[in-house]
Structure 1
Amino acid sequence: MRAWRVVVDLQTGERYCKSMKNITVSVDDDTYRRARMKAAEQDTSVSALVKQFLNELAQEESEAERLKREEARLRASIRSFRASDRLSRDDIHGRGT
């Protein structure tokens, strides 16, 4: 289900509508009770805690994104490449002198 929320930009005071998704999460009674206690300690709601957790999770870099970033870093560090710089098959497999 799609819901619309009015969002206020705290810097500019500008108001706009933002599409939000509602989700349903099922947890056992003990987990819910403990989550309510944590939320109360932080003066917030369980819903706000779940939203914060999901936002942080979505911000994390995926393994594919990390590998792509690492590949780009490695490629950028290569200044020049010549085929003659490669090791021989014997050297690669430890069969060299």
Structure 2
Amino acid sequence: MTSLTINVDPKVLKRARIKAIENDESVNQYLARKLEEYANTDTQESHWKEFLDLARASTAGSGPEGRTWTREDLYRERLERFS
């Protein structure tokens, strides 16, 4: 791993250390995780965009009338069998 040096206000760092202790982690672990999320943002956004495009193009759904069944309809046979 590569080391990184940053400048932070001492009061901010103290509060960050306290919060990290409360979350059972180190400030270093938190920052490393956040940097990784930041670095992967474009990839995550492209995956979400692809997912949403697929969802919009999908023809699956409840139909123009909306949902035409109830939970009881789905489980009627099962309910009758065990009643």
For normalisation by structure 1, the TM-score amounts to 0.43
For normalisation by structure 2, the TM-score amounts to 0.49
- Greater relative CO (CA pairs within 8 A, separation 6+): 1
Identify the structure with the greater strand proportion: 1
